[in-house]
Structure 1
Amino acid sequence: MPLLPGAEPFRHDGGDIGVLVCHGFTGSPQSVRPWADHLAERGHTVSLPLLPGHGTRWQDLAVTGWQDWYAEVDRELSLLTERCRTVFVCGLSMGGTLALRLAARHGAAISGVALVNPGNKMHERAAVALPVLRHLVPSTKGIASDIAKPDAVESGYDRVPLHAAHSLRRFFRLVDAELPQVTQPLLVMHSPQDHVVPPVDSARILARVSSRDVTERLLERSYHVATLDHDAELIFSETSAFIDRLAPGAGVEGMAASGGA
């Protein structure tokens, strides 16, 4: 099955600071590729996997579930921890939820977590009917390309398969229960105007994690897919500053990557 434009996974072999970047539900690596590219340009080793069922057609997503998506990022994390001395995890939307579960389960193996508009709950009234509705209705309208910036487009599905949505709802509830196990430094960047994930999700995450080193940044000019929106550069600079502060030598990798001393 051909991939959507920009949906291919991305890997960059850089220094011994590794960064795993996770895309969101019904999206693809394209939505966070500029984020990954920035980190690679800083000289870091970067992994941006394509989650199972994504990047092709929505019918492929319908036969996958959260266990498949989580297993993929868990494998990529294992590869990074084998290669790198320090590892960070970043995620957009459901990718942020995946990052939080990795943090909850892997503890000290992860040095920090950076999130953009992370998901925590399905708020639509119809969500409670998903256990039954998914057997009657195969899909509903898509959620891709919630972007304020003119002409910016997310490469994602125009339909949401309800079997996968049901699995995502279960995953949100699972990770919400695990949030107190998250102790790593946390950078949460979220949009006050988000038509997919409301700001209350970031607020709940910040309230429930056990992290003591927490930074919150508002993405005032962006909607949900902020990594492709007006605040993309802010996301990139905040993430780099977060890594530089927490990982000794991170700035050296960036200097080497740009040809500095």
Structure 2
Amino acid sequence: MTEPLLARGDIGCLLIHGFSGSPAELRPLADALAAQGYTVHVPLLPGHGVTPEELSRIGYGAWIEAVRTAREELEQSCRTVVIVGYSMGGLLGIVEAARRPPAALVLLGVPTFVGGDWRVHLLPMVKYLMRWWYPLEKLDFDDPAARAVVLARDPHFRIDDPHEQARLRRSVRISTAALDQFFRLARRARRMVSAIDVPALIVHGRHDTTAVPACAEEIYSSLTSRSKQLRWFEASGHELVIGPEGREIVEVLVSWIARLVPQPEPVPTG
């Protein structure tokens, strides 16, 4: 797990990254919250940051437990905690918020279901027949949005080199066993949304093909929170904080958290 970026504020923000991702997905938001004096914790989930083989051996219960532990670590020094979850991290945020309410919940591009893809239901069997899925196999490197995402993750990637493109398409692989765990978690979280009544902000990209927009609408309607908001970003897909509208999204999130939770004084640096 990563260490808190700032450990002197008494309000904690627990940021949870997505499936097969890393804390880097949320780094701009973490930095912005830390600059405002919040204690920010961005744990690296079990099976992530290592090899695809390691991820294939992890059950979703380990991710749930990791989030619970990270929250307890924050609560040792913070009087209250806000949970922010991106993609699968949002599913984990839902499960944790239903277990024990946080001060507020932020959900970024959360996929409670996959838009009508019948193959998802075959994963419990497919994982024994096909071990790997290559998500970038058909990536269009001429697509400006795709280029922005790749370069956001690796600014030094030689994106116009055909050999590098081919290498990336084949090197990025995800275990079908891990995908099965992801979808099991999604089904569990989907059943728990209605148990959440804390202030909640849902942020979603209009062009998200990973977490289709209907996911955000379903979460919003299922939440029993008296204070809830669904905010659309018209130029964004699944990548939010590091996407084309990332700067505006970070500003919206920091402002919303500051309104909901009494904002600490920024901690001087240097």
Match of residue 237 from structure 2:
223
**Distance (whole Å) between structure 1 residues aligned to residue 172 and residue 249 of structure 2:** 26
1:1-261 alignment to 2 at 5 Å? 9-12=2-5, 13-107=7-101, 110-123=102-115, 124-142=117-135, 148=145, 150=148, 152-154=151-153, 158-248=172-262, 250=263, 252-254=264-266, 256-257=267-268
Checking the alignment, whether the CA contact within 8 Å between 1:147 and 1:223 is kept in structure 2 is no
TM-score when normalising by structure 2: 0.85
**Distance (whole Å) between structure 2 residues aligned to residue 98 and residue 186 of structure 1:** 15
Checking the alignment, whether the CA contact within 8 Å between 1:147 and 1:229 is kept in structure 2 is no
Give, in angstroms, the shift of residue 147 of structure 1.
8.2
**Distance (whole Å) between structure 1 residues aligned to residue 197 and residue 41 of structure 2:** 23
Q: Which blocks of at least 5 consecutive residues in structure 1 are unaligned? A: 1-7
Amino acid at match of 2:85: G
Give, in angstroms, the shift of residue 125 of structure 1.
1.9
TM-score when normalising by structure 1: 0.88
Give, in angstroms, the shift of residue 242 of structure 1.
1.6
Greater CA drift, 164-173 or 17-26: 164-173
1:155-176 per-residue CA deviation (whole Å, 9 max, x = no partner) reads 7982121111111111111111
Identity of aligned residues (%): 30
**Distance (whole Å) between structure 2 residues aligned to residue 211 and residue 154 of structure 1:** 35
**Distance (whole Å) between structure 2 residues aligned to residue 147 and residue 44 of structure 1:** 34
Distance 1:167-1:147 versus aligned 2 partners, 3 A rule: farther
**Distance (whole Å) between structure 2 residues aligned to residue 228 and residue 29 of structure 1:** 12
Amino acid at match of 1:86: T
Q: Which blocks of at least 5 consecutive residues in structure 2 are unaligned? A: 155-167
Checking the alignment, whether the CA contact within 8 Å between 1:152 and 1:228 is kept in structure 2 is no
**Distance (whole Å) between structure 2 residues aligned to residue 28 and residue 80 of structure 1:** 19
Checking the alignment, whether the CA contact within 8 Å between 2:220 and 2:229 is kept in structure 1 is no
Greater CA drift, 239-248 or 193-202: 239-248
Amino acid at match of 2:60: W
**Distance (whole Å) between structure 2 residues aligned to residue 242 and residue 193 of structure 1:** 23
Checking the alignment, whether the CA contact within 8 Å between 1:143 and 1:158 is kept in structure 2 is yes
Number of residues of Structure 1 aligned to a counterpart in Structure 2: 247
SS of 1:189's partner is: strand
Checking the alignment, whether the CA contact within 8 Å between 1:10 and 1:29 is kept in structure 2 is no
SS of 1:221's partner is: coil
Report the aligned-residue RMSD. 2.3
When Rg is computed on C-alpha atoms for both structures, the one with the higher figure is: 2
1:55-96 per-residue CA deviation (whole Å, 9 max, x = no partner) reads 122111100021111111110011112211121000110011
Checking the alignment, whether the CA contact within 8 Å between 2:114 and 2:212 is kept in structure 1 is no
SS of 2:184's partner is: helix
Distance 1:174-1:62 versus aligned 2 partners, 3 A rule: same
1:116-167 per-residue CA deviation (whole Å, 9 max, x = no partner) reads 1012013322111111100111111226999826363337982121111111
